[in-house]
Amino acid sequence: MKSNSLFPSRSLLEERLGAERFDSIPTSPGVYRFYDGAGDLLYVGKAKNLRRRLFTYKRAKAGQVSRKVAEMIGRIDSMVWVETESEREALLLENRMIRGARPPYNHANKEPETYYFIYIKPDEAGVEFRLAMRIHEETDQRFWHGCFKGHATVRRSLGCLLRLLWMAEHNVKNPMHLPVQLTRNLTPMRYTLSLNLTAFKCKEDPVRAGGEDVDKARRCQNPESPPGVLTGLIDSWIRGESCEILDWLIVQIECGERLAPFQVRFLESHLDILKTFYDRKLVPHRKLRGESRHIKQEELDDLLVT
């Protein structure tokens, strides 16, 4: 029968591993691993100072750590460590070990993730959007961006963008009028958004709009708002260079008119998702990739943890 005791009195970590084992721990950065009595890997961790970090496990007491950590300590039979030249190298090594071995007491970086490349190609008919887990050879690679980590995050964010663009194009304020293909929680893997030169104008009279809405209405009525301007805003957003498209969407959808409360909530929630995706995915991606538009999937995890 398996014991429910988390810290058996006869098997405290120092008693099991020996005081001399802890005395030999270096103070350098590195990665450590815990194994159970059968030699199975329990946990992989990294430390800026191995000695300081491993001594926290030595001093751990019931009630001072989580139940999960307490249970793990109760199972540790041996530990090993690898010194590294820097904390960054320790972080990368830990990440690779976790992905390779998937220890039961590690959570972050253990489960396989989905990676998407995003294809955004403008032409005379509109803008073609694609999501794919690889770059399609038959397409123009200049229009691929990515890859971006996270199945739900990527598809939900691109879906928000497509819905707001469609509403702006068709001068629709009620999300109930969206096409069925765009009403699903996750965006379609392929969608072409047609663009109309006259679609990005509202009929609000800037004189009647008054106050701060005058400029907004004038921008809505500006006939010099061709698809090229929009595709430039989309491109700057997906590259992590500018969030101006969010302001543009607000202007086009509101057009100086007062929205119903549920329409405001819909618009605000979509803009929040797009801004979060921009801050957490697109901007870091721009900083990581340097001059290159693409980052390979096998490299992305290591880049994101540094």
Domains and CATH numbers, the chain: 13-101 (3.40.1440.10), 115-305 (no CATH)
Contact indicator for 72, 43 with CB cutoff of 8 Å: yes
DSSP-based helix, strand, coil % in the chain, nearest 5: 50, 15, 35
Average pLDDT of span 130-155 = 89
pLDDT single digits (tens) 229-246: 788 899 999 999 999 999
pLDDT at 63: 72
DSSP state of 278: I
pLDDT at 227: 53
pLDDT single digits (tens) 247-265: 999 998 988 788 999 999 9
DSSP state of 160: H
DSSP string, 50-90: HHHHHHHHHH--TTTS-HHHHHHHHH--EEEEEE-SSHHHH
The helix (H) or strand (E) run that includes residue 252 is helix 244-254
Distance CA 198, CA 221 (A): 9
Average pLDDT of span 151-170 = 92
The helix (H) or strand (E) run that includes residue 129 is strand 126-132
pLDDT at 50: 95
Task: Give the lowest-confidence range in 36-40, 123-127, 136-140, 159-163.
Answer: 123-127
Distance CA 164, CA 149 (A): 23
pLDDT at 296: 60
Average pLDDT of span 123-134 = 86
